[in-house]
Amino acid sequence: MNENESKELTLSAAQRLVDEWIRTVGVRYFSPLTNLAILAEETGEVARVIARTDGEQSVKAGEKLDLADELADVLWVTIAIANQHGIDLTEAFANNLAKKSVRDRERHKLNKKLSED
């Protein structure tokens, strides 16, 4: 994949790429429960980076902080889980955005906690 292709990667294309990689390089999908555990682990790694970059924890000697890489790991395993369950993430994301747009149309504007600075 060249640089331009990676910057314009769609969810559908990402799902196909992850599936192809798993079936060739990775041999097969891990079980759904294993992927859930991996998702929890990767989410923890995102939390670790943010705790050190935006929170009050200090960086340990030799510790590498790469939020982009950790978020990509979360995205990768999320895509793998979606693939295992036959979920079209493009459709799911569009539906989720529509749901939030209706449900939260005024909710955040009316939240006094968000307007206090």
Q: What is the pLDDT of residue 102?
A: 86
Q: How many CB atoms lie within 10 A of CB 18?
A: 20
Residue 37 domain-assigned (yes or no) = yes
- Cα distances from 12 to residues 8, 9, 25, 42, 87, in angstroms, run 11, 8, 20, 22, 10
Domain assignment present for 20: yes
Residue 104 resides in a domain: no
pLDDT attached to residue 111? 80
Q: Is residue 106 part of a domain?
A: no
Which residue type occupies 36?
L
Residue of 112 and 42 predicted with greater confidence: 42
For residue 43, the domain's CATH number is 1.10.287.1080
Q: Among the residues of 1-117, which ranges form H helices?
A: 3-7, 11-24, 32-53, 67-84, 89-103, 112-115
Q: What is the pLDDT of residues 22-57, one digit of tens each?
A: 999 999 999 999 999 999 999 999 999 999 999 999
**Two tokens at 22?**
């798993």
The mean pLDDT value for 93-97 works out to: 95
Determine how many CB atoms are found less than 10 A away from the CB of residue 43: 16
Mean pLDDT of 79-93: 98
